[in-house]
Structure 1
Amino acid sequence: MYKAILPITAAISLAALATPAAFAEEKDYISTISIQGVGDVSAVPDMATVTSGVATDGETARDALTANSEAMAALIDVLKSSGVEDKDIQTSGFSVHPNYVHTDKRDANGYRMPPKIIGYRVSNNVTVAIRDLDSLGGVLDAAVTVGANTINGVNFGVSDTDELMKQARQNAMKDAIEKAELYTSAAGVDLGNIMNISENQSYSPAPMMKMGARMEMADAAMAVPVEAGEMTYSVTVNVQWEIDQAE
């Protein structure tokens, strides 16, 4: 009988010894609350970037390159004469590749004949920063007039976003604090010290712009109407607090 009871007695003793440690761990546990705050700031763009260039064909790669170089020189000249500075013009793409013609003809074995090279195409593109939006429509018109036959989109932006991002961060933190205070007040507890803060950033263009800015731009460049819209800069902040609970 004594041997059968011994293991049970040992297990009870071990459990008793472990109890103070368990209580200590429970006492050291920190309650927390994690909240996500969002701050948005909108601004009218003051600049745009445009990728434009020339694609030319020729019987030989040399012919295509010569024609392309002449056209690109004219394009860069007209960009500079339109007020674009040298530092705002950057080559962003250059390629030379053959042009093929395909045929349904087959050889003596019945296999389709390979495509035949009939010439070459040279493409050269520059990315341009336009810092005077009133001139944007005119610059686009001048570029096409002088020979640009590729324009790969117009992207609007704000040249200096430092103050905008500061305001967005303040708005995001204010939003997080208001939410945290709402939850803790409803739960009957108080916010403690901040334990962690992290953020994410993003921006997106809005489809609309103010009527005044739209009319001014239309008057300045009737040939190529453009819409600058608004940029929305957003900061998402994740904040974790300790919770002070009434004892």
Structure 2
Amino acid sequence: MTKLSLIAVCSSLMLGVSAPALAVDFPHLTTSGYGEVVAKPDMATFSVSVVESTMTAEQAKSKVDDVVGRFLNSLKQAGVADSNIASSNLYLTPQYHYPKDEKPELVGYRASRNVAVTVKDISKLNQFLEVALVDGINQIDNIQLTVSDEAIYQEQARQAAIKDANQKARSLAKGFNRDLGDVWEIRYNNSNTQPVLLKSMKMDSSRMESDSYQDASITIRDRVEVVYKLED
């Protein structure tokens, strides 16, 4: 089960400062509330590349298509749905040698294709990376770790931010011997969640054994500003 921890983050407080766009001509108090939820990633997306350079365009295309075909077939046999696989079209470019003071010489062709895979169960990530290695994939472009229920965690972070703002407002009002009135204005800008990105790597067996992603965590943040009236 995903472990969550709510973190109360210290924030700056403003007393008697009005909103830039609105003139507030009554006693008021503004607080900024912050909330965080720390979640363990439970799914991942990774993208791989197949790159081949040969003397002819036909050979380069054939080699790349063969590798991608084997990889896609292996993924489907492992139970990966078509909707979780995205394969790009073939990209073919001529390769030239540029001798000094001479015309460029065609020396071959470079073909490449990319495949992106969404892994719904993060415990199977290494399995799919090993499949890529066996099938001849020669480059991992990136691995992105995410959470499947991000909206739930974002709501928890938002509620934590609201609670933080309310607690600070009550504390400030009490400290200045004032009574906290109604909420006059709420300012909210949704915070974006940053997934965990792992670096690209060449496909080799020694580096495939790393399970460091299993210790990763994702921090989901939210923030709210609230303007309260102060009672006389």
Give the TM interval when normalised to the shorter protein.
0.7 to 0.9
**1:92 Cα deviation from its structure 2 partner:** 4.9
For the pair 1:36 / 2:64, whether they are aligned, the reply is no
Equivalent residue for 1:202? 192
For the pair 1:77 / 2:62, whether they are aligned, the reply is no
Amino acid at match of 1:86: D
Equivalent residue for 1:241? 228
Per the normalisation by structure 1, the TM-score is 0.72
**1:189 Cα deviation from its structure 2 partner:** 1.7
Which of 179, 201, 209 matches 1:224? Answer: 209
CA 1:93 to 1:243, structure 2 compared with 1: closer, same or farther past 3 Å?
farther
Amino acid at match of 1:238: E
Distance 1:65 1:225 in 2: 32
Q: Determine helix, strand or coil for the equivalent of 1:30.
A: coil
Which of 144, 148, 153 matches 1:159? Answer: 148
Amino acid at match of 2:27: S
CA 1:93 to 1:166, structure 2 compared with 1: closer, same or farther past 3 Å?
farther
Which of 165, 176, 185 matches 2:174? Answer: 185
Gaps of 5+ in 1: 1-27, 107-112, 208-221
Would you say how many aligned residue pairs link Structure 1 and Structure 2? 197
Q: Determine helix, strand or coil for the equivalent of 1:83.
A: coil
Q: If you compute each CA radius of gyration, which structure gives the higher value, 1 or 2?
A: 1
1:144-181, Cα deviation, whole Å (9 max, x unpaired): 11111121121111111222122111111011111111
**1:65 Cα deviation from its structure 2 partner:** 1.6
CA contact (8 A) 1:141 1:224 kept: no
Distance 1:36 1:128 in 2: 40
| Larger CA deviation: 153-162 vs 60-69 | 60-69
Amino acid at match of 1:200: N
Amino acid at match of 1:119: G
**1:224 Cα deviation from its structure 2 partner:** 2.6
Per the normalisation by structure 2, the TM-score is 0.77
Percent of aligned pairs sharing the same letter:
30
CA 1:129 to 1:67, structure 2 compared with 1: closer, same or farther past 3 Å?
same
CA contact (8 A) 2:144 2:196 kept: no
CA contact (8 A) 1:138 1:224 kept: no
Gaps of 5+ in 2: 1-23, 198-206
Distance 1:177 1:94 in 2: 56
Equivalent residue for 1:126? 115
CA 1:180 to 1:94, structure 2 compared with 1: closer, same or farther past 3 Å?
farther
Displaced runs of 4+ in structure 1, greater than 6 A? Answer: none
CA 1:102 to 1:190, structure 2 compared with 1: closer, same or farther past 3 Å?
farther
**1:186 Cα deviation from its structure 2 partner:** 1.7
Distance 2:56 2:196 in 1: 46
**1:83 Cα deviation from its structure 2 partner:** 2.6
Amino acid at match of 2:132: A
Distance 2:132 2:92 in 1: 22
Amino acid at match of 1:44: K
Which of 37, 41, 52 matches 1:45? Answer: 41
Distance 1:181 1:192 in 2: 10
For the pair 1:169 / 2:164, whether they are aligned, the reply is no
Amino acid at match of 2:171: L
| Larger CA deviation: 226-235 vs 47-56 | 226-235
Equivalent residue for 1:216? none
Q: Give 1:64-103 correspondences, 5 Å limit.
A: 64-92=60-88, 94-103=90-99
Amino acid at match of 1:201: S
